[in-house]
Chains A and B, each alone.
Chain A
Amino acid sequence: MPGGGTVRAIKQRISSVENTSKVTHAMELVAASKMRRAQERALSARPYASRMRAVLAQLSGSGTSSNDETMHPLLEQREIKNFALIHITSDRGLAGGLNANMNRASASVTLERQPDVEEVSVLPVGKKGRDFFRRAGFQMLAEFTELGDFPSSSDVLPIAKIVIDDYSQGNLDQVYIGFQTFVNPAVQHPTIRQILPVQPPEDSDDEQVAAVDFIFEPSAEALLDTLLPRYVEMQVLEAILEAQASEQSARMVAMRQATDAAEDMVTELTLTYNKARQEMVTGELLDIVGGKAALEQG
Chain B
Amino acid sequence: MSLTISIVTADRTVLERDDVTRLVVPGADGQLTLLPGHAPLVVSLAIGEMLVHAANVAEPVAVHGGFLQIVNDEVNVLADAAERVEDIDEERADAARRRAEERIAGRLEDIGEADFDLVRAQLSIQRALLRDRVRQRN
Contacts and interface: CB of A to CB of B under 8 A. Distances in A.
Label chain A's interface by main secondary structure.
helix
A230 B45 CA distance: 14
Contacts of A230: 80
A227 B67 contact: yes
Given A47-B6, A217-B28, A237-B10, A55 B67 contact: yes
A217 B42 contact: yes
Chain B at the A interface: SS class? strand
A47 B6 CA distance: 10
B1 to A, nearest CB: 18
A215 interface: yes
A226 B10 CA distance: 15
Interface stretch (B69-77, B85-93, B127-135): B69-77
Interface residues of B, number: 23
Contacts of B6: 47, 51
A44 interface: yes
Interface stretch (A29-37, A119-127, A206-214): A206-214
Nearest to A233: B10
A59 B78 CA distance: 14
Given A48-B8, A209-B71, A212-B71, A55 B42 contact: yes
Nearest to B32: A217
B51 interface: no
Contacts of A45: 10-11
A215 B9 contact: no
A79 to B, nearest CB: 32
B76 A217 contact: no
A55 B78 contact: yes
B42 A48 contact: no
A223 interface: yes
B10 A48 contact: yes
A218 B67 CA distance: 11
Contacts of B27: 217
Given A215-B39, A217-B27, A55 B69 contact: yes
A214 B28 CA distance: 17
A58 interface: yes
B42 A223 contact: yes
A234 interface: yes
B48 to A, nearest CB: 14
Given A215-B39, A218-B28, A44 B44 contact: no
B42 A153 contact: no
B41 A214 contact: yes
Contacts of B8: 47-48, 51
B78 A51 contact: yes
Given A45-B11, A47-B13, A52-B78, A222 B71 contact: no
B40 interface: yes
| B6, B44, B72: residue with the most chain A Cβ atoms closer than 10 Å | B44
A174 B42 CA distance: 29
A158 B16 CA distance: 30
B137 interface: no
B67 A226 contact: yes
Contacts of A222: 28, 44
Contacts of A51: 6, 8, 69, 76, 78
Given A58-B42, A209-B72, A214-B71, 16 more contacts: A44-B11, A48-B10, A51-B8, A51-B69, A51-B76, A51-B78, A54-B76, A59-B42, A152-B11, A209-B71, A213-B40, A214-B69, A216-B43, A217-B41, A227-B67, A237-B10
